[in-house]
Amino acid sequence: MTQNPDYEADRKAQPPDTSAEHASDSASLDPSRHRALAEARRADGDELGAVAHLIAAHTLNAYAAGAPNASTVNLCDVATGYFMKGDHGIAEYWYRLVLKLDPHVAVVCQNLAAILTVGGHVSEAAAYRERAYRIQRVFIEGSGAEQRRVLILCAAHTAGNVPFDALLPSTLCCRIKYAIDYTDDEEDQQLPAYDLVFNAIGDADIAAPLSGRLARFVSRCARPVLNPPDAIARTQRHRTASLFDELPDVQVAPCVRSEVAPASRSALDALLAAGGIDFPVLARPAATHGGDGLTLCESLAALESWRSAQTEVCYLTAFRDYRSADGFYRKYRIIFVDREPFPYHLAISPHWMVHYYSADMEQHPWKLEEERRFLDNPQAVFGEQVMSAIAAIGKRLDLDYGGIDFTVLPGGQVLVFEANATMLAHFERETGALAHKNPYVQRIVDAFERMMSRHHAT
For the chain, domain boundaries: 16-135, 138-233, 254-318, 329-457
In the prediction, which pLDDT does 412 show? 94
Of 56-65, 129-138, 312-321, 333-342, the poorest mean pLDDT is in 129-138
Of residues 166, 116, 93, 170, the one with CA closest to residue 139: 170
Q: Is there a contact between 79 and 108 (Cβ–Cβ < 8 Å)?
A: yes
Q: Looking at per-residue confidence, does 269 or 156 come out higher?
A: 269
CATH of domain 138-233: 3.40.50
Give domain 16-135's CATH number out of 1.25.40.10, 1.10.760.10, 3.40.50.150, 1.10.10.10: 1.25.40.10
pLDDT tens for 360-393 read 899 999 999 999 999 999 999 999 999 999 999 9
pLDDT tens for 171-219 read 889 999 999 998 999 999 999 999 999 999 999 999 999 999 999 999 9
In the prediction, which pLDDT does 2 show? 32
In the prediction, which pLDDT does 20 show? 37
Region 389-414 average pLDDT: 97
Q: Is the pLDDT of residue 273 over 80?
A: yes
DSSP percent split of the chain into helix, strand, coil, nearest 5 = 45, 15, 35
Residue 350, judged by CB atoms within 10 A of its CB (0-12, 13-18, 19+), counts as exposed
In the prediction, which pLDDT does 93 show? 95
Of 6-15, 317-326, 438-447, the poorest mean pLDDT is in 6-15
Q: Looking at per-residue confidence, does 291 or 88 come out higher?
A: 88
- CA 397, 400, 402, 404 torsion-angle sign: positive
- Assess whether the previous peptide bond of 343 is cis (omega < 30° from 0): no
Q: Is the pLDDT of residue 454 over 60?
A: yes
CATH of domain 329-457: 3.30.470
The mean of the pLDDT values for the chain is 90
In the prediction, which pLDDT does 11 show? 32
Distances (CA, A) of 283 to 85, 279, 400: 36, 11, 29
Region 117-133 average pLDDT: 90
What pTM was estimated for this model as a whole?
Answer: 0.82
pLDDT tens for 39-73 read 999 999 999 999 999 999 999 999 999 999 999 99
Sheet bearing 281-285, strands edge to edge:
255-258, 314-318, 281-285, 295-297
pLDDT grade for 159, boundaries at 50, 70 and 90: low
Q: Is the pLDDT of residue 23 over 50?
A: no
Q: Looking at per-residue confidence, does 9 or 400 come out higher?
A: 400
Fold of the 254-318 domain: Dna Ligase; domain 1 (3.30.1490)
Region 18-36 average pLDDT: 71
Region 89-98 average pLDDT: 95
In the prediction, which pLDDT does 332 show? 97
In percent, how much of the chain has pLDDT > 70?
Answer: 93
